[in-house]
Homo-oligomer: A and B are copies of this chain.
Amino acid sequence: MDRRTPLGVAVIGTGRMGTDHVRRIDRVVSGARVTAVVDLDAERAEAAAAGIDGCTAHTDAAAAMAAADVDAVLIASSGPAHEAALLTAFEHDLPVLCEKPLTPDAASALRVMEAELALGHRRVQVGFMRRYDSEYVKLKALLADGRLGRPLMLHNRHRNVAGPPFFTSAMLITDSVAHEVDATRWLLGHEISAVTVLRPRPSAAAPEGVSDPQFVVLETDGGALSDVEIFVNCGFGYQVQAEVVCERGTARIGDGHSLVTHTAGRWGGTITQDWTDRFAQAYDDEIQTWVDATRRGEVTGPSTWDGYAAAAVCEAGVRALREGGRVEVHMVEKPPLYR
């Protein structure tokens, strides 16, 4: 498509995730705009569309997908609604980003797959977003380069402060461990061949009748083991950690430090080599903040006074460098504009 035109995206579903994606496409992501939002609840759809120029609200996904300014679809409705939305998107041959799960069970997922196969080309990206997390990406790259040898075991921790009230024992598997299922397949490049679920006594914080935590062991067709501690009412924080054990070392992510390896008698990580790497986020946020403020007609951030003060101090510093000893800094009085 024309690079001049941003991608027009229809977002299906305006719950917590859908609303967040609407904001993301509208405010964060470059090159796209939300042109339609869909929700069975017309009021929620209207609310989500409000304030976005050129965005229409719908209660019917098919109508939204038929609109001329819709180039792609993001499905963020509840799992059971995914199949119908995907098939409709296929009818319009639209590219789809579908939040996980693709569908709630294997049979319906198979139907979606068959419909895509009938189209003859890929249309769907499933929302397994761990594959885009910078730490998982580093871990994948480390495994791919083979330095640590073949992976033998993967230890996963997945903890939430508190589960939603409707969470059942089975949902610990289908909603939470589903992420580790994909991460295991993706990191190791194996398919999973068997599953065992162990249940320690439930935490006092688990709702009556819910087995929380659980300990899930996944066996892969490549002979590796992947174990998952899932604990949705751990109370203290949200943690997603993974430690892969290979023939010549281990690597761990999610532990505060970016990627820590243990190999050849040493533990540790890499040091950034460049400011473009260390401060990429700072530069991006600096410019985005400036753009946002400027569009609102405001000027924020470090001022001319700050620039002047730095120049005055650096001048004194250069004198101190050249002459030795302590050099005092003298500045004009601060104008009220900069207070």
Contact = CB atoms under 8 A, between A and B. Distances in A.
Given A105-B315, A126-B306, A256-B257, A193 B152 contact: no
Interface stretch (A37-45, A61-69, A138-146, A210-218): A210-218
A101 interface: yes
A88 interface: no
Interface in A284-339: 284-295, 297, 299-318, 320-322, 324-329, 331-332, 335, 337-338
A47 interface: no
A274 B164 CA distance: 13
Interface size class of A (residues with CB under 8 A): 35 or more
B236 A225 contact: no
A126 B301 contact: yes
A103 B153 contact: no
Contacts of A54: 4
A110 interface: yes
Given A303-B122, A327-B196, A177 B314 contact: yes
Contacts of A59: none
A192 to B, nearest CB: 5
Given A102-B310, A152-B203, A194-B327, A132 B282 contact: yes
Closest 7 CB pairs of A and B: A268-B268, A102-B307, A201-B223, A237-B271, A133-B282, A109-B308, A125-B301
